[in-house]
Amino acid sequence: MQKSLVVLFLSVLYQSVSAQNLTQYVKPIIGTQRMGHTYPGATVPFGMVQLSPDTDTIPYAIHGSYNPKVYEYCAGYQYDDKTIVGFSHTHFNGTGHSDLGDFLIMPTTGTLRLNPGTADNPESGFRTTFSHENEIAEAGYYKVLLDDYAITAELTATERVGMHRYTFPETKEAHIIFDLMHGIYNYPDKNVWTFVRIENDTLITGYRQTNGWARTRTLYFAMSFSKPFKNYGAKDFEEQKTYRGFWRKFDQEDNFPDLAGRQLRIYFDFDMTEGEQLAIKFALSPVSAAGALKNMEQEIPHWDFERVKREARDQWEKELSRITVTCMKQEDYESFYTAIYHAFITPTLYMDVDGKYKGLDQNIHQAEEFTNYTTFSLWDTYRALHPFLNLIQTGRNNDMIKSMLAHYNQSVHHILPIWSHHANENWCMIGYHAVPVIADAIGKGEAQFDVGKALEACISSAKYRRYDGLNYYMDLGYVPEDKSGSSVSKTLEYAYDDWCIAQIAKKLDKKDIYNEFIQRSENYVNVFDPTIGFMRPKLSNGTWKKDFDPLDTHGQGFIEGNAWNYSLYVPHQPEKMIEMMGGKERFVGRLDSLFTMHLPDKYFENTEDITRDGIIGNYVHGNEPSHHIPFLFNYCENPHKTQEIIRMVMQKMYKSAPDGLGGNDDCGQMSAWYIFNSLGFYPFAPASDSYQIGSPLVKSATLHLENGNIFEIEVKNQSEENIYVKEVWLNEKKLTDWELKHKDIMQGGKLVFVMTNIHN
Amino acid sequence: MQKSLVVLFLSVLYQSVSAQNLTQYVKPIIGTQRMGHTYPGATVPFGMVQLSPDTDTIPYAIHGSYNPKVYEYCAGYQYDDKTIVGFSHTHFNGTGHSDLGDFLIMPTTGTLRLNPGTADNPESGFRTTFSHENEIAEAGYYKVLLDDYAITAELTATERVGMHRYTFPETKEAHIIFDLMHGIYNYPDKNVWTFVRIENDTLITGYRQTNGWARTRTLYFAMSFSKPFKNYGAKDFEEQKTYRGFWRKFDQEDNFPDLAGRQLRIYFDFDMTEGEQLAIKFALSPVSAAGALKNMEQEIPHWDFERVKREARDQWEKELSRITVTCMKQEDYESFYTAIYHAFITPTLYMDVDGKYKGLDQNIHQAEEFTNYTTFSLWDTYRALHPFLNLIQTGRNNDMIKSMLAHYNQSVHHILPIWSHHANENWCMIGYHAVPVIADAIGKGEAQFDVGKALEACISSAKYRRYDGLNYYMDLGYVPEDKSGSSVSKTLEYAYDDWCIAQIAKKLDKKDIYNEFIQRSENYVNVFDPTIGFMRPKLSNGTWKKDFDPLDTHGQGFIEGNAWNYSLYVPHQPEKMIEMMGGKERFVGRLDSLFTMHLPDKYFENTEDITRDGIIGNYVHGNEPSHHIPFLFNYCENPHKTQEIIRMVMQKMYKSAPDGLGGNDDCGQMSAWYIFNSLGFYPFAPASDSYQIGSPLVKSATLHLENGNIFEIEVKNQSEENIYVKEVWLNEKKLTDWELKHKDIMQGGKLVFVMTNIHN
């Protein structure tokens, strides 16, 4: 065979493998150790079910005080743990506050135990030890050996249904524990109510309502066993009830099909032969138990676990193949496709197969010509995740925006979501960052929703005086620290969001609105103290906060950040900001210091979202407010420094390992940052029509866009050392600046980077 | 004018008044004093809303122990109380256990108080003193002067909407208190969750879920003010929450529109001029807040209080006029039409205007070609209320049965309701007495439902082994007292219910089922101890319970009754029972003793449903199990004693006064007993095709049947003294026994009683 033919053959073979087996690179275990807060279990793209092992039951509070350890369990799983308590059906990907962990299932054998036991003494409860050697986590599939019971557990899922398969040893004492007390960020009064019906000897239905991060959250279920149980029972762990009524007629602990209360655990007994498999289908619904049952019947009308597993993988394969890449090394493939996997988990589907969903008003709504999504971690995801979805999942991103507009319609505050999940606003973090998501879709020409209505929703959100110091902001031009904490962060982010509104207004030719909001967008200047060169909290009397430490994360007017990082948050007017801070030369020195100085622990202790893992110098990559900072070098004629930093961050903060994320994935934001930068560009200011160019990590990439066009990226002279971008060519035309227009991507074409190891 | 013309004129005038103003005789205040447990507020026939004053807030338990005083407040109102705490929207009529009292509204002026205060010290809270002199209670309308605030309160209602009208003095400090903690049979953990939205300055929506007699009960509301409030606020009285999340950002006590929690009270402030009226429309829904709003918009699309009041009265007039009577005296009119009023309250509508309702499975269902009802106090109401409705509200009674069949379809136990309300089975009392209601409709030829399906539901209910000793009953032929308490009552009532099933089977020509259940229906013999002549608890080993006292109500194998009364409960085989008890002669002596002996207090102390008010000798009329007993004389050739007793009971146990009921009205059962007996006949054994004849109280009556036929009753020689029935003529044919066939009524015609003061 001639050499050229071999090359051709290998190339075809590779492409074929690449196109057909991208799921091989997905390592859901990435980020499960330390602070990534990802979960390793089974889910499909943007699915309602996230069926995953929980490794401990951590109370939110101990003796009434916050238990800091609970933070580690935002996703229910910590890689270093030695035990598993069971498999629950809902999990956040990478959040820094939490909820969910609904409907824990645990298979056991031998003596029935209805308490989870402790990690130190697992035999005291139903939990079991496990080993990562006996654990497989793939896209849409999870498997683990439960040591104490010699049960092999396997999990897979469709959009609305989790499927379990447990392979038992021979036993007359097989149990399925169904724990309705279990939850993530749990505390004794979190469970509001639980309602369960044992419909027959294979079908269970019901719901649970909780009062957690989501204040009024109800999730319905239908659970089906592949074979009938022989016996069942329940225990209500609520300590004391004033009144139990005439239900006391019944022994509700023994085979009683009609259960309700606040703290229920239920068990089902089976006889199992050696190697016999018990499968469980567990469907969720935001609407009703009847809805859950319908979801189950429609999505898994059979008992073929392998088929569900295969279809889950196929779904992932299809979604992952929206972008095909070649990389320098195996690990980069894994980091890249796992990043896409994590970016394609949230927001999650929140609608039954018949289009019904629960709204923010707790009424049941029918989705008219859109798919309803929930879990909007917008303070995080407006930065890169939604811009990424806008680019590569354009239809879904539009549906997500329609879901936000439905939220607005249902909001008694008449505002867009801040941080919302499961028909609840949880009010976490700051800003009104649904606005940049909407503005990004409009600004980049991808809006498929009612833009006029969206502008109305944005303005209404930006003028809700009751919200988080917004009244002061509107009256004074800044949020005063003595009136509303984290005042500088709020002022800066409101100003950026206001610029986004101005961009929408401009597009719709609404001059008055444009003028109003472009003026508001300059409010960042009001919190800049030129005498010290930092953004600084201002009091309501117009004076600066005294005793100000720009290194400290605690109580300095910022949220999850210090003035060194947060002062640079003016993504809409970087040039003006740089000028304000003394000009480009001085600013470069300042950035250099940021990336090289040492930030002692004391400055970020007890700030949960900031850990040493996520810090380079004083630059905090493990949390979001700094994600745009590396690109500020581009604005100071020092693009090579942007390129250096980008490549360094990709190397230091992302790896294909359980501790592979330098901070909470934050519903895919950390991953989306990595994806964009692997491709060589980044949405510095969402809602603008362009991206900033960094330094790509891939050797090549092909973007299969939803409009049918293909955008190719070729990176010439790519290597570990060639981190500098010498030239960039778009469709054979050399770019003269560090900006890439969105429309140039969407109309298809080719981007060529030429790399070098020497910067000019 | 000639005398005959005057008579004619007066007669026409009288008939006209009678036909057009029957509501004048309705005195909702009857039964509000002592143990009637009726409420005086506004409702329409079988309406979902029962808007009525609550005179105290009685905790169900004090320091964890049952508070016997709570029993007096089953309907929220006690005539002897001096204060009113407010007006709530749901009440039971005459129950002996309770729930509801949802959504209390109280108008106040002056200093805002958010606690109800105490009866002893009303100024300490928002409650007010009131006087019966300033109180009017009519069919569909209630009015009272709230002394402390000089506010005139008026209430009226449609089926699903309560309407309030408050006439204020001049004040800048008018408040509407909206108390979501308040409830009947209340205790600290009864409130499960409350969700409220202040939609705008006139509209409030939300729901409350409680865990009371109904274990999982959620009621939704929409409330609208006739003028905008100027200010509002809320207080969450829950003692301590582990976690409040990011809602702490907001001052939720001050004009915050988005409220949820377990213990909420809300207030709305208004400026009022002298004599200015504030109206409130308050709609309920079992389905959703959106459903409540739709109910409001459809039922009261205006602010005309007088119109709603007039339409409520018109509805009552229409329903009352199904039976027109002439009586001997004014008081009898009042007792009679108030009894009809009370008989036409329960079961209550439980369905939105669009036909949606919440089912027992907590799913939302669409009623297909029937109206869904709830509140089935079947142990009480199968005896006379449902037979009465079967006769005179045939269509509604069929819908009620369809509602029970829907309950059966939704029941995880696959059984008919026992005592159900608001999408819950509360399991109160014993028996499966939906069966006689169904069997009565079938037996009397009035069934408009699927009879085959109904039989299936009846059998399924009668074979639910888990229920209340039914397994033992099926295996042993009786309920053994050592296995299941109240065993004799259960055995007797199961036997009767089984006879009802046999009657249905006979009608459907299902011989096997007939044989099976006719055999079960004779199980009463198994608990008859011939050595003492009483029904007596038997143990599982077949021996009789020792230490048996047939006078005592406590722990003798009976529920709310003693052996003297309960032993006579074999309504389906009275002849055989009489034979078993020694024959007619001996039996008459026994009955005579029952009505004349003295029953000392100690035998019924602490049996809440039995009080001295409701006792004649040892015959307990104030509770249900004995309601058929007076007619047993008919079966012993002593009909005149039936007639004497009936007239005596009507005289002693019913009067037109606040204390006018000798016991709990029990959802209309006491009233239905009175109505039947006023007309001269009674359903001795529902499900049979006939009634027993007693002694009528009316002078004449006209029954306007739903089939268009008219049945007239004429009582000749009627007087206070002429209590004996000399002859009865049906369509000019003299009756030869004391039985009246249902079909003879339904085909129209005339029944003539000839009365006398001497019995033969």
Residues B135-164: pLDDT tens digits? 999 999 999 999 999 999 999 999 999 999
Give the whole-angstrom CA distance, residue B472 versus residue B111: 62
Residue in B61, B199, B215 nearest the CB of A242: B61
Q: Is residue B605 very low, low, confident or very high in pLDDT (cuts 50, 70, 90)?
A: confident
* The predicted structure's pLDDT at residue B606: 83
Residue A468 touches chain B, beta carbons under 8 Å: yes
Is B395 in a helix, a strand, or coil? helix
Give the whole-angstrom CA distance, residue B679 versus residue B692: 11
Q: For residue A470, list chain B residues with Cβ-Cβ distance below 8 A.
A: none
Q: Please work out, in degrees rounded to the nearest 5, the angle formed at the alpha carbon of residue B645 by the alpha carbons of B639 and B648.
A: 145
E strand residue ranges, A525-618 = 528-529, 534-535, 615-616
Residue B548 touches chain A, beta carbons under 8 Å: no
**For chains A and B, what is the number of CB pairs under 8 angstroms?**
134
Mutate to test the interface with A, among B70, B191, B203, B249 (most CBs of A within 10 A): B249
Give the whole-angstrom CA distance, residue A261 versus residue A426: 25
Residue B246 touches chain A, beta carbons under 8 Å: yes
Contact A242 B189 (CB under 8 A): yes
What is the mean pLDDT of the segment spanning A269-275?
Answer: 98
Quick one: CA torsion of B361, B365, B368, B371, rounded to 10 degrees? 80
Q: Is the pLDDT of residue B83 over 60?
A: yes
Mutate to test the interface with B, among A189, A201, A412, A560 (most CBs of B within 10 A): A412
Give the whole-angstrom CA distance, residue B109 versus residue B168: 8
Q: What does the mean pLDDT of chain A come to?
A: 95
Domains and CATH numbers, chain A: 31-318 (2.70.98.10)
Q: Is residue B19 very low, low, confident or very high in pLDDT (cuts 50, 70, 90)?
A: low
Give the whole-angstrom CA distance, residue A158 versus residue A309: 9
Q: Is the pLDDT of residue A324 over 50?
A: yes
Is A446 in a helix, a strand, or coil? coil
Q: In the structure encoding, which two tokens stand for residue A527, read together?
A: 């919190």
Q: Report chain A's terminal Cα–Cα distance, integer Å.
A: 44
Residue in A188, A215, A246 nearest the CB of B242: A188
Burial of B315 (0-12, 13-18, 19+ CB in 10 A): buried
Residue B4: CB atoms within 10 A of its CB come to 8
Q: Which helix (H) or strand (E) holds B584?
A: helix B584-596
* The predicted structure's pLDDT at residue A315: 98
Q: Is the pLDDT of residue B14 over 80?
A: no
Q: Is residue A19 very low, low, confident or very high in pLDDT (cuts 50, 70, 90)?
A: low
Q: Which residue of B has its CA nearest to A254?
A: B466
Residue A413 touches chain B, beta carbons under 8 Å: yes
Q: Is the pLDDT of residue B647 over 80?
A: yes
Q: Which residue has the tokens 């079961």?
A: B347
Return the exposure string of A464-482: e unless at least 16 CB atoms fall within 10 Å of the residue's CB, then b.
Answer: bebbbbbbbbbebbbbbbe
Give how far B269 is from chain A: nearest CA, Å.
20
Asked whether A535 and A524 are in contact (CB, 8 A), the reply is yes
26-65 in chain B: CB under 8 A from chain A = 60-61, 64
Q: Report chain B's terminal Cα–Cα distance, integer Å.
A: 45
Asked whether B532 and B544 are in contact (CB, 8 A), the reply is no
Query: Which has the minimum average pLDDT: A27-41, A101-115, B238-252, B443-457?
Result: B238-252
Give the whole-angstrom CA distance, residue A584 versus residue A66: 45
Tell me the one-letter amino acid at A364. Answer: I
Residue B224 touches chain A, beta carbons under 8 Å: no
Q: Is the pLDDT of residue A124 over 80?
A: yes
Residue B193 touches chain A, beta carbons under 8 Å: yes
Contact B426 A257 (CB under 8 A): no
Burial of A6 (0-12, 13-18, 19+ CB in 10 A): exposed
Residue A193 touches chain B, beta carbons under 8 Å: yes
Give the whole-angstrom CA distance, residue A120 versus residue A115: 14
Residue B195 touches chain A, beta carbons under 8 Å: yes
Is A90 in a helix, a strand, or coil? coil
Q: Is the pLDDT of residue B4 over 70?
A: no
Task: Give tens-digit pLDDT for B304-345.
Answer: 999 999 999 999 999 999 999 999 999 999 999 999 999 999
Tell me the one-letter amino acid at A636. Answer: C
Q: What does the mean pLDDT of chain B come to?
A: 95
Q: Which helix (H) or strand (E) holds A331?
A: helix A330-343
Q: Is the pLDDT of residue A8 over 60?
A: no
Q: Is the pLDDT of residue A342 over 70?
A: yes
Residue in A190, A260, A468 nearest the CB of B243: A190
**Which residues on neighbouring strands pair with residue A638, listed in sequence order?**
none
What distance separates the 2 farthest-apart alpha carbons in chain B? 87
What is the mean pLDDT of the segment spanning B519-529?
Answer: 98
Q: Is residue B15 very low, low, confident or very high in pLDDT (cuts 50, 70, 90)?
A: very low
Tell me the one-letter amino acid at A14. Answer: Y
Quick one: CA torsion of A184, A185, A191, A195, rounded to 10 degrees? -10
Please indicate, yes or no, whether the overall pTM of this predicted structure exceeds 0.80.
yes
What is the mean pLDDT of the segment spanning A552-581?
Answer: 96
Q: For residue A247, list chain B residues with Cβ-Cβ distance below 8 A.
A: 215, 427
* The predicted structure's pLDDT at residue A115: 96
* The predicted structure's pLDDT at residue B280: 98
Asked whether A501 and A459 are in contact (CB, 8 A), the reply is yes
Q: Which of B92, B88, B85 is nearest to B101 (CA)?
A: B88
Contact B245 A427 (CB under 8 A): yes
Contact A427 B246 (CB under 8 A): yes
Mutate to test the interface with A, among B242, B288, B411 (most CBs of A within 10 A): B242
Task: Give tens-digit pLDDT for B467-497.
Answer: 999 999 999 999 999 999 999 999 999 999 9
Q: Which residues contact A175 (CB under 8 A, 6 or more apart)?
A: A107, A108, A109, A112, A126, A267, A268, A269, A270
Contact A289 B363 (CB under 8 A): yes
Q: For residue A100, list chain B residues with Cβ-Cβ distance below 8 A.
A: none
Give how far B742 is from chain A: nearest CA, Å.
36
DSSP classification of residue A395: H
What is the mean pLDDT of the segment spanning A646-659?
Answer: 96
Peptide bond into B347 cis (omega under 30): yes
Give the whole-angstrom CA distance, residue B188 versus residue B276: 37
Q: Is residue B62 very low, low, confident or very high in pLDDT (cuts 50, 70, 90)?
A: confident
Give the whole-angstrom CA distance, residue A467 versus residue A456: 17
Contact B364 A288 (CB under 8 A): yes
Residue A205 touches chain B, beta carbons under 8 Å: yes
Contact A185 B243 (CB under 8 A): yes
Q: Is the pLDDT of residue A240 over 80?
A: no
Residue in A189, A243, A363 nearest the CB of B288: A363
Q: Is the pLDDT of residue A16 over 60?
A: no
What is the mean pLDDT of the segment spanning A354-368?
Answer: 98
